[in-house]
Structure 1
Amino acid sequence: MVLNIAERHKLILKKLEENEFVDVSDLSKEFNVSLVTIRKDLKVLEEKNLLFRSHGRAFLKNPYTTDYHVNFKKQLKTDEKVRIAIHAGQILKPHDSIIIASGTSVIEFAKHLKPTAGLTVLTASLNVALILSEKPNIDIIQLGGILRNSSLSVVGSISEKMLSEFTFTKLFLGVDGIDLEFGLTTTSAMEASLNKEMIKAAQKIIVLADSSKFGKKGFGRICGLDDVDQIITDTGIDEKTKNRLFELGIEVTIV
């Protein structure tokens, strides 16, 4: 059965509502039309603002993130971030030395963190340092460097050099995007560079990310998913993504 243009477009949008993305090659085979025809279909739908194209795929939602100010981002997915933060706090053990990166998920983590005996925290986030300064029995190391106004955190060579002087048991990392192929990303190249050094300095890499971060990409690539030990997220994660993360050997905690 040969489908006309309108029928193809309707089916493409239906598939996108059911899945995170669709592949050009898969649509070409299913509809028995050329790759060129499918690309034209997707271009027309994109021009109508019904989908987004990227690297041979189409997405219902824009896969690219924007560098919003931390004060705006903290209003998004607040309930999910609180649940993620509370669970992350339960991972801490006595005499842990941890890195808390930057972002609204780790700020929430700092708010709900209950200090364990001998806890040492190094952070790039000014907000995190201020929150933890009001809690007892935590040794806090604030990274120095260039202040990013949008995240109220530091980046740059000074921060990276400081990190090389320490080793840590855990890194709690917030991200702007998690792509199954491209890995972890953030909207800042300098922040991505600092996050790379944090990963080198820590024994266990724990990502705190609400489910809206999956299928998204930021400007700066932090690392591939093979560097990640655990992801703590919410129930909005889709089954396909969850299963793929399990296949990669990542511990996925859903709260």
Structure 2
Amino acid sequence: MTTDQLPATLTKAQRKQLIVKEINIHTRATFEHLALIVNVSEDTIRRDINELEKENLVIKVKGGAMASAYHHTSEQKAYSQDDKITIAQKLLPLLRKDMLLLLGGGTTIREFIKLIPGNLRITIVTASVLSAVELLDKPNIRTIMLGGQISTYSQMSFSGDVFNQLSHLKTDLCILGTNALDIEGGFSDSDWDTVQVKKAMLASSEKVAIVSISEKLNSTMKIKIANLSEVDYIVTELSPDAELLSPYKKANPNLTFL
């Protein structure tokens, strides 16, 4: 539901339901973004988030909230988990023995890591703490964790050391999740530090694959990470021939959709 489709006045229950859905779709959202979506003050959003956290529906973080399933201690089923498993399965053919893979974070990436064959020998570099923890269950994978201050927003490392380490890499493939994807807006996020790390990851890779559930398509956040022309693969749960993807194909015929 877009903003212009919303009822003129939302009840508190409707508002909270919309807030939870928006956070689940994009993994996390700022108070400012949520206030714009439901057309209320940030103070109202903060009160709603406090209540939703008590109900174990979201987790409050600095400047906003994130989906409960994204937290490292959560055993909750991820939002659209079946779709994310479908995306994870589509990524597997991109893997090859002894490749150097640069990996982001997120619930879709987590499903992908679970599906990596146990006998596949590859090296994975990541700045995501949660991805690194998930990779501990894959003994044949050599995991390199980029170190630095950890973002409370994305749980990714960011610092001068991280950027320095990335500048010396040229990986075969980078797989990143995104919070928003749009033809004109490219893929984007709302956290400055996270965006800078993702930009550096793109610059360090020969090929780039962006994973996204279809509900994130045609949406933008405040800070652009890259244009679609800088991406090689778009991976969604949809068939590559889906009508929703047609405008993206027309805009960039060089993109491969999986």
TM-score, L = length of structure 2 = 0.69
Give the secondary-structure state (helix, strand or coil) at the position aligned to 1:108: helix
Kindly provide the CA deviation profile for residues 108-154 of structure 1, in whole angstroms up to 9, marking residues without a partner as x. Answer: 21121225654110011111111112212111110112212243221
- What is the identity, as a one-letter code, of the residue corresponding to 1:251? T
Larger deviation, residues 186-195 vs 112-121 = 112-121
2:78 maps to 1:75: yes
Structure 2 match to 1:215: 218
Distance 1:179 1:72, change over 3 A: same
Q: What is the aligned counterpart of 1:130 among 118, 133, 141?
A: 133
Answer whether contact 2:151 2:193 (CA < 8 A) is retained.
no
Q: What is the aligned counterpart of 1:185 among 185, 188, 193?
A: 188
User: Structure 1: where are the runs of 5+ without partners?
Assistant: 1-16, 22-41, 51-60
Structure 2 match to 1:233: 236
User: Structure 2: where are the runs of 5+ without partners?
Assistant: 11-20, 31-64, 71-76
Alpha-carbon distance in 1 for matches of 2:186, 2:81? 24
2:149 maps to 1:149: no
Alpha-carbon distance in 2 for matches of 1:225, 1:123? 22
Structure 1 match to 2:257: 252
- What is the identity, as a one-letter code, of the residue corresponding to 1:252? F
Would you say how many aligned residue pairs link Structure 1 and Structure 2?
Answer: 202
> What's the RMSD between the two structures over aligned residues?
2.9
Q: CA deviation at 1:70?
A: 5.3
Structure 2 match to 1:175: 178
Q: CA deviation at 1:158?
A: 2.2
Alpha-carbon distance in 2 for matches of 1:116, 1:49? 55
Answer whether contact 2:129 2:156 (CA < 8 A) is retained.
yes
- What is the identity, as a one-letter code, of the residue corresponding to 1:75? A
Q: CA deviation at 1:71?
A: 3.5
Q: What is the aligned counterpart of 1:200 among 199, 203, 214?
A: 203
Q: What is the aligned counterpart of 1:104 among 107, 111, 119?
A: 107
2:98 maps to 1:95: yes
Structure 1 match to 2:164: 161
TM-score, L = length of structure 1 = 0.70
Q: CA deviation at 1:88?
A: 0.8
2:8 maps to 1:48: yes
Answer whether contact 1:185 1:223 (CA < 8 A) is retained.
yes
Alpha-carbon distance in 1 for matches of 2:81, 2:196? 27
Q: CA deviation at 1:213?
A: 1.0
- Structure having the higher Rg: 1
- What is the identity, as a one-letter code, of the residue corresponding to 2:8? K
